[in-house]
Structure 1
Amino acid sequence: MENKKAHLHSNRQRPAKYWHSLTQLKFRRDYRSDLPPSLFRFTGYRPPDEGPPYDPLPIPPFIWLPKIPLKYETWLFAWIGSFGGILLIEAIMSTDTAFRDVYHTPTIITSFGASAVLLFGVVESPVAQPRNFIGGHFLSALVGTCITRLFVLNGQYQGYLDNTHFHPSTFINGGISMATSLLVMLMTGTVHPPAGATGLNAAVQSSVVSLSWRYLPTVLASSLIMLAWAILVNNLGRRRYPLHWWAPGPTFVLPPGQNHDEDLRRVEEGERDRDAQEGDLAVEIDNSSEPHR
């Protein structure tokens, strides 16, 4: 009985210790609120008492945006955002930079066209948030490149792509790379639908296959360029982006009024009370199991 009680007590201590370690990683409050309003809006922060649609940037011409319907503003910034995001990536990849002169990258990885739809057209979508966008593209590029490197061990693989003739290895690689990319995104919580094309490109697009490992910095740089532009454009008007950086809810900040030490003390006191109750229950069970005389 004593061993059983000790085992139960040990099992209950584990969640408390786990909770304690996670809570230590959280900030007492959201320090983004210490920034000037003209700056904290570009981190996705809005005061708790504000709700959508939010106030635009308080300078002309953005201060006049409330005079037009919100849907027209959404259409306008979606067009400006997607146009500018694609243009920036193309310009940086095509000018005198390492991407053109050393990596010989294509003008743009086409899957970022689909990402632009999410980042500028449906900014509230969970799959459009930074973790999903950056993580999804990079992990898919990594998975697709790793798998394709195995297929490229067959020296004729690049020729199969260039000649566009049917060969089973290219089709098998495309399916494996895309499906495995999706699996990794699901396992890591970084699902971003356009990233499926990023993994597929690594397998079947000749110009991308020739990049080999250089595909990874190309995808990462393209992601960061588009994300920076999205953070700027999507916070000029009455929209807000990102809604969260890592996960919904107060991931990095303790809920208002929560005190870590007091909560931990209450958890430990609750465990002691339950242990005492179990001890009393065990005594009652032992007494009831004795034969009546």
Structure 2
Amino acid sequence: MLAGVELGGTKVFVLRARGRTILDREMIPTTTSAETLGKAVAILEAWHARQPFAAMGIGSFGPLRLDPHAADFGIMLPTPKPGWAGADIFRTLTAPFDCPAVIDTDVNGAALAELRWGAGAQGPAPSDSLCYITIGTGVGGGFAFNGRTLRGAMHPEIGHIRVPRAPGDRFAGSCPFHGDCIEGLVSGPALAKRFGVPGHEIDPADPRWDDVANDIAHLVSTILLGTAARQLLIGGGVGMGRTGLLDSVREKVVTQLGGYLPHVDKDSIGRIVSAPLLGDQAGPLGAVALAMDALEGAGVS
């Protein structure tokens, strides 16, 4: 029996699974760290009393300290989300349970699930390298290479990469740390500020979407060049919500790369850059995949 927690910026899923099959799932709104984590622990304790967990996987929004040798391992670092900086995610969720556990970012977990059971497992040969980008309240990126997630002192923070701006695009960005980093340009709150209306009211025909596609395409091009990932999936409320946007991003990636990567062209780009195959189940299944790693003694614990 495996336990999983997918801790997101707006909601939390607490899971119980056997293998990759999710048996129970509870949703908690993300409020204060104390209230949210306390409710998650209460659910886990009730399940554990019925049948003890063999392992636990935690996929959390960040930024997190993932270096197991650091004094603040498993703790939330400075974040724009009020009341969460300094929250001890790992110890709070695992202290009541005597089982191995792994903590990682929610997007790293989603990338791992897609690599093992989703987009990375499709086709004539399984993929060995995959990047999962979520564009929603923020912009996050997870990497699963050779069966494991990518992390070191921290975890990938692709949302705060700066990209070349489209000519004439004067939007200043909305990131409180960096202004016009990619999160400050294309996240849900950034789009609302850029267009002047909530995301669901933005006109699909507004020409400024071309600037948004340019920004996302430069991020994708940077990742393909910098990591040699075979696949790049774009999910999240913004990423999965606009098919036309993804098509425009693909076209711009091919143009931006200028033929330098021989495997990326107009015929292959649709296979390389796509939507997550697992859809909104990538995050919950990511927590399960991390629990499996904990059971096998792999990953950060």
Q: Shared fold by TM > 0.5?
A: no
Greater per-residue helix proportion: 1
- Larger RCO of the pair (alpha carbons < 8 Å, separation 6+): 1
TM-score (norm 1): 0.30
Which is higher, the Rg of structure 1 or of structure 2?
A: 1
TM-score (norm 2): 0.30
Greater per-residue strand proportion: 2
